[in-house]
Structure 1
Amino acid sequence: MSPTATPATVVTAPGPAAPAGAPAPTGRDPFFDNAKYLAIVLVALGHAWQPLTYTSRAATALYLTVYAFHMPAFILISGYFSRGFDMSPAKVKRLVTGVAVPYVVFEVAYTYFQHWAEDEPPEPISLTNPWYLNWFLAALFVWRLTTPLWKSLRWPVPVAFAIAVLAALSPDIGSDFDLQRVLQFLPYFVIGLHMKRSHFELVRRRWVRIAAVPVFAATVAGVYWLAPRLENGDEWVFHNDSVQNLHEPVWAAPVMTFALFALAAVLTACFFAWVPGRTVWFTALGGGTLYGFLLHGFLIKLSRWWEWYDVAAWIRRPVGEVLVTVLAIAVMTALCTPPVRRVFRCVVEPRMDWAFRSPAK
């Protein structure tokens, strides 16, 4: 999920580095760059904690709490930054170079990376069946293409929720472009499309920041208590399956869609309340979150294939869990830095002027 516009940032151009306390670069809002960086760190933490959930109830609580809101927050920002998409040549070019091309490149790269890492014959490359993290790029491409529709409808948010519920009731959607996730996460994108900057300010009041502490604490405690009793807890927050495949009754589709939305909305508001609004040391990293999102997938998969979590028993103990957390933050931070972006810009954000017609004068 997720994670990652960023996922909002997937098509947001990187900004120049700025010292802490300095004014934000022209045209960039440090609040959103900070939110992008913190959200992509949560993506890394979720992926890093997942193997620990088999033996740690605390890791399970943190993992499910993060997954309950980090992709909704990411997608909400993606929608917010898609408000100006109008099918103009410049916007279409940016969609192709910032989303479609990275999707194709990393679909191929992930496939052959798995072949190398596992020393097995490579699986057939399928551009319609997103490999691992690529589901988000496929989703963003679909969402952004449909932006003019959502901007013209009279009741876009109710329609998006109706589609999400129908998707949860449709076991035969198939895996093409991970449409289950595309449709079930759709409301968050549509809501983001219709948000204004002032809406984010509403949750940045002092009382919201203070209230966010017990809210998050209560959520983690509640999930910790529920963890042994939850069935398909991770499947629900992934939004990638129908209720029939989860062996749940039909009525669970609308109930869980709105219940998970309510939980995600509260936790997302708390998350935005804590995001710094000024330029800080990691603000400049917010423009490179697509790099961190796509590149960290190689390390995450390698950790599974090569069984890094089973090298020593202490890795699954508290000291190991803390070390895994610190390493995940450090690695994601490094992958968002300017040197990494310079090396991989040719495949993550290619200019490709040669592939497009010059604008008419």
Structure 2
Amino acid sequence: MSTRRRMPFWDNARFACIVLVVLGHAVQRLTYDSDIALGLYLLVYAFHMPAFAIIAGYFSKSAAPTKRQMARVITDILVPYVIFEFLWTVTKWFVEGRADPNITKPSWTLWFLLALGIFRLVLPYLALLRWPLLWTIAISVGAGYLTNLGDTFSLARTLGLLPFFTLGWWLSEHQIVDRLRLLERRPWWTYVTAIGVFAIAGWAAWNFVELWNAVNLRHWLFYDDSYADMGGTQWWAGGVRLALMGIALVLSLAFFVLVPLRSTWWTHFGQYTMYVYLLHSFVLYPLRESGVLRNLEPTWIWLPLVIVASVLTALGLATKPVRRVFRPLVEPRPTWLFSDSSLAAREGRRADPTGSRRPRESPSHREQS
């Protein structure tokens, strides 16, 4: 069985991940006033981007790229990055009365686009090494000791999450998922175990919330600051990142266990996660900056409402009308940029940067899930 054959599981996992991304950003303002919201926030951030990186790595190739694959790095990653950086600059200028255009420092969610581009560029070189996973773990842990990486080109965060992307590629390269038949059937005890893992993690995130605030845990989970900047001046600070990576791996595994294997009514939305990723920040921006999400009591009412709103936002931004309007921004095809214009053509099957492939849409095309 080919690892590239379309499986509903991967679209389910993609969409579940993007819902967690929206939820994490939406609930952030509630964390200042609610320990329960902070516990949920820490739980989500402990694994959702590592899980996304694993999925992206699973559908990445380590072979020397073809001309079309190289062109897709430009059309699917670099061009949208420039477009949305420009949009963010304009938005900040209108809303905040200031703008600091700097294409080397990605705005808000755009860091992941740069990370995907860098992941794709370095993967063929990592694949040449004997122990690529061990090397990327060493790189991730070592990067935290460097105080000069910062957020330029999102390099600190990219190196921090590189092991998860490499793990996804390694699982595909060695056909681990197929050989172990992980997407065919699961024993009942795996679901119980996965639920237990999240129950324990959720309890720990909430019960020790004062400790997590004291050690600045939320910033450790971002992978974008040096250990020293987060107060980790001890020589063993890298051990904290290593432990957090282990926790992220366990939670990601539990998350994948709970993702449905078969097609559902929302499966096909997993093909359009990049629309949700790039657009949801513009939906949340006025809510976050206006203070509407502050001092919302009682939590037991507002937190569930924010969760539901996050799911609806993700669903809405993945719908066909939204995609039709924003496709020139999210999936630009600048044929004028290439000496061979066919490299940017829409013909054939398209893929977003997370590896989701789909047939070209047309008015007569019916979406497949």
Deviation at 1:130, TM superposition (A): 0.6
2:47 aligned counterpart, secondary structure = helix
User: 1:102 and 1:316, CA in 2 relative to 1: closer, same or farther beyond 3 A?
Assistant: farther
Match of 2:78 in 1: 100
Instruction: Give the counterpart letter for 1:205 in structure 2.
Output: R
Deviation at 1:277, TM superposition (A): 1.3
Match of 1:334 in 2: 316
Deviation at 1:199, TM superposition (A): 2.6
Matched, 1:218 2:200: yes
Q: Distance in 1 between matches of 2:40 and 2:168?
A: 26
Match of 1:21 in 2: none
Q: Deviations over 1:324-356 (max 9, x none)?
A: 111111011100112211111111112233433
Q: Distance in 2 between matches of 1:70 and 1:85?
A: 27
Deviation at 1:358, TM superposition (A): 5.5
Match of 2:276 in 1: 292
User: 1:112 and 1:358, CA in 2 relative to 1: closer, same or farther beyond 3 A?
Assistant: closer
TM-score under structure 2 length normalisation: 0.85
Matched, 1:174 2:150: yes
User: 1:43 and 1:338, CA in 2 relative to 1: closer, same or farther beyond 3 A?
Assistant: same
Matched, 1:274 2:258: yes
Gaps of 5+ in 2: 344-369
Q: Distance in 1 between matches of 2:55 and 2:265?
A: 21
Q: Distance in 1 between matches of 2:202 and 2:58?
A: 28
Instruction: Give the counterpart letter for 1:103 in structure 2.
Output: Y
Matched, 1:227 2:227: no
Matched, 1:135 2:116: no
Q: Deviations over 1:87-124 (max 9, x none)?
A: 21010111111111110000010111122222x03x23
Match of 1:44 in 2: 22
Gaps of 5+ in 1: 1-25
Q: Distance in 1 between matches of 2:267 and 2:236?
A: 40
Within-5 A mapping of 1:237-256 = 237-256=221-240
Match of 1:4 in 2: none
Q: Distance in 1 between matches of 2:52 and 2:192?
A: 23
The answer as to whether partners of 1:164 and 1:184 remain within 8 angstroms in 2 is: yes
Q: Distance in 2 between matches of 1:358 and 1:336?
A: 28
Alignment coverage as a number of residue pairs: 331
The answer as to whether partners of 1:291 and 1:341 remain within 8 angstroms in 2 is: yes
Match of 1:6 in 2: none
Q: Distance in 2 between matches of 1:261 and 1:107?
A: 30
Deviation at 1:77, TM superposition (A): 0.7
Deviation at 1:233, TM superposition (A): 0.9
Q: Distance in 1 between matches of 2:241 and 2:272?
A: 32
Q: Distance in 2 between matches of 1:164 and 1:198?
A: 24
TM-score under structure 1 length normalisation: 0.87
Q: Distance in 2 between matches of 1:303 and 1:100?
A: 28
1:309 aligned counterpart, secondary structure = coil
2:208 aligned counterpart, secondary structure = helix
The answer as to whether partners of 2:11 and 2:271 remain within 8 angstroms in 1 is: yes
Q: Distance in 2 between matches of 1:326 and 1:187?
A: 32
